[in-house]
Every structure is written in structure tokens, then in C-alpha cells.
Amino acid sequence: MKTTKDFKQMKMDNEPIAMVTAYDYPAGKLAEQAGMDILLVGDSLGMVALGYESTVNVTLEDMILHTRAVRRGAKDTFVVTDMPFMTYHATVSETLYHAKRLIQEGGAHAVKVEGSGIVIEMIEHLTGAGVPVVGHLGLTPQSVGVLGGYKVQGKTEEEGNKLIEDAKAVEQAGAFAVVLECVPWQLAEAVTEQLSIPTIGIGAGPKTNGQVLVYHDVIDYGVDRVSKFVKQYAHISDDIVNGLKGYVQDVRQKTFPQLEHSFKTKQFTSQTK
Ligand code: KIV
Ligand code: NA
């Protein structure tokens, strides 16, 4: 299993970091088989796997449950879990307690937190307590209500400079990596050059130290709409629907199950045939 030290080294060696989300046992297992460097139990779980409108409905209990499932599937891969909406803002002790639960009960190796401001302080306290932290800047979906939608961030010089300063503060506070979501690639490149911790981009262009995508987007698995920044490497929704249709048809035509799918006994010989 790669560790935080390896991820920093990978940046120094200019070796890209491959990261994907996972929300359950099979996803953890298959992503590990594919050789992923990091798994993210993202709170995108709420939208992608639970069907909520946004990530703000996701609870700490949800994240614990799904992190446990992912860890059972991926026993040898570094797992980062999102701290959900408003679980790392109110007080330091609340923040530390929530991170402790994600690590002890969920089995997360690290946590991810969105934003700057008060969150910078929380990153300091978390890393001070021994919790590896990933920052998350740019489009921060837990703030969708404040941002007014899912839009590209940091397009103006002012916004871009603010993001660079925030990224430096995240690094300074002790985070071992930072996710940059939906920012112009030139800004992501500037941040990547100015930080010594790895940047991991989603919708942030080719110049970051790593990439992260949502599992369901990568394989086209039951997604409603696909963002411009996504590349789909498989289309398993089609396979799933076709497979399920075949099963429905066989049941209705009584062509499944056959005796080869059935158990037998010497008793109870049918009288009707
Ligand atoms: O929840 C998530 O999937 C994320 C990624 C988009 C980085 O936070
Ligand atoms: Na997230």
C-alpha cells in the first residue's frame, strides 16, 4: 500500500497519482485490482449512489458505513474519506471526534475537507492530532448553496490568486495533498508549481500531479449526466440493462432456471409428468 510519503515522492518524481472514488465492496475490490493509487470514499456517494440532489444530505454514519465496505474490498489501498457537510466547522473537538470515527469505525487512512477560512485551522488541528488530511479547493460541492451552482471556479485573476493563497495555506496547515475541482488548467498548473504537496485534479486539466474521477462516471454506471471533464472508459450501464432484460425475458418465458441451475433429491417424484 502506498502512503502519504509515497504520494509526496511521486510528485517529486513527476509520477502521476491515479485516484478514483469508491462507495462499496465491489468498487473497492475492482479499483484495487486495477492498480489505483488512492481510493476516495467521496461524499459524491450521496448523489451518485444514493440519489440525493447534492452532497449536503450525506451523514457521518453514511461515510462510516461505506468506508467500511470499501476497506473490506480494498485491503491494500490507501483510502481517503470525505468529512461530510458541516462535520468539521463548528468546533475543533467536534471536528476531531468526527475524524476519529471515520478512522476508527470506518477504517479510513485519511480524511478530505473542502474549503479554506476556518477549515485551514481544522486542518492544522487534524494533522496535529495525527490525522492525514487532503484539502479540496475550487468547486467545493458542499458549498453549492453559497456558490449558486456547479460552475468553474477561479477564472478571474482575483479569484485565481485567492485560490493560490488558499492552496498554500492548506499546505502550510499540514495537508499532504489537495484536490482541485473545476478550475482552469492554467490555474491548476500554477498551484501545482507553487506547492510541494501533490495536487489532484478533477476538471482541472492535465498539469496537476494526479487525477481523480467519480467511479460511476469512469465506467458510465447509472449516471444521469456527464460533465465535460469526464472521460468514460467503459459503458457498463448498457451491459447491466441488457443482462437484466435477458433475465426478465427468461423468467417470463420459463427458460430460466434449467435443471442445471437446480438442486436435486431422490424424493418427491412428480405425479403430473
Ligand atoms: O466526493 C467526491 O467524489 C469528491 C471528488 C469529486 C474529488 O470529492
Ligand atoms: Na466530495
Closest residue by CA, ligand 1 atom 5: 42
Q: Is 260 annotated as a binding residue?
A: no
DSSP label at residue 241: H
Report the pocket of ligand 1 as residue ranges, CB < 6 Å. 21, 40, 42-44, 82, 179, 181, 202, 212, 214
Contacts with 203 (C-beta within 8 Å, 6 or more apart), sequence order: 139, 152, 181, 182, 183, 227, 228, 229
DSSP label at residue 44: T
Those residues whose beta carbon sits under 5 angstroms from the ion ligand 2 are 42-43, 82
Q: Is 42 helix (H, G, I), strand (E, B) or coil?
A: coil
Over residues 96-148, the pLDDT tens digits come to 999 999 999 999 999 999 999 999 999 999 999 999 999 999 999 999 999 99
Q: E strands of the chain, at which residues?
A: 17-21, 38-41, 78-82, 110-114, 133-138, 177-181, 199-202, 210-213
Catalytically active residues, by annotation: 181
Sketch the domain layout of the chain as residue ranges: 4-238
Residue 49 CA to ligand 1 center (angstroms) comes to 13
Cell numbers describing residue 243: 443482462
- The neighbouring-strand residues paired with 82 are 112
Q: What is the mean pLDDT of the chain?
A: 97
Residue 48 alpha carbon, nearest atom of ligand 1: 3
Q: State mean pLDDT over 67-76.
A: 98
**Peptide bond preceding 141 in cis form (omega within 30 of 0):** no
Q: How far is CA 231 from the centre of its chain?
A: 16
> How far apart (Å, rounded) are the C-alpha atoms in residues 142 and 79?
20
Q: Say whether pLDDT at 273 is over 90.
A: no
Closest residue by CA, ligand 1 atom 4: 42
Residue 61 CA to ligand 1 center (angstroms) comes to 18
Closest residue by CA, ligand 1 atom 1: 42
> How far apart (Å, rounded) are the C-alpha atoms in residues 105 and 164?
34
Over residues 3-55, the pLDDT tens digits come to 999 999 999 999 999 999 999 999 999 999 999 999 999 999 999 999 999 99
Q: What is the pLDDT of residue 66?
A: 98
Over residues 200-253, the pLDDT tens digits come to 999 999 999 999 999 999 999 999 889 999 999 999 999 999 999 999 999 999
Residue 42 alpha carbon, nearest atom of ligand 1: 1
Q: Is 168 annotated as a binding residue?
A: no
Over residues 168-186, the pLDDT tens digits come to 999 999 999 999 999 999 9
* Domain boundaries 4-238, CATH class: alpha beta
* Band (162; pLDDT cuts 50, 70, 90): very high
Residue 179 alpha carbon, nearest atom of ligand 1: 7
| pTM for the full predicted model | 0.97
CA dihedral for 163, 55, 45, 128, sign (positive or negative) = positive
DSSP secondary structure letters along 249-264: HHHHTT-SS-GGGS--
> How far apart (Å, rounded) are the C-alpha atoms in residues 219 and 129?
37
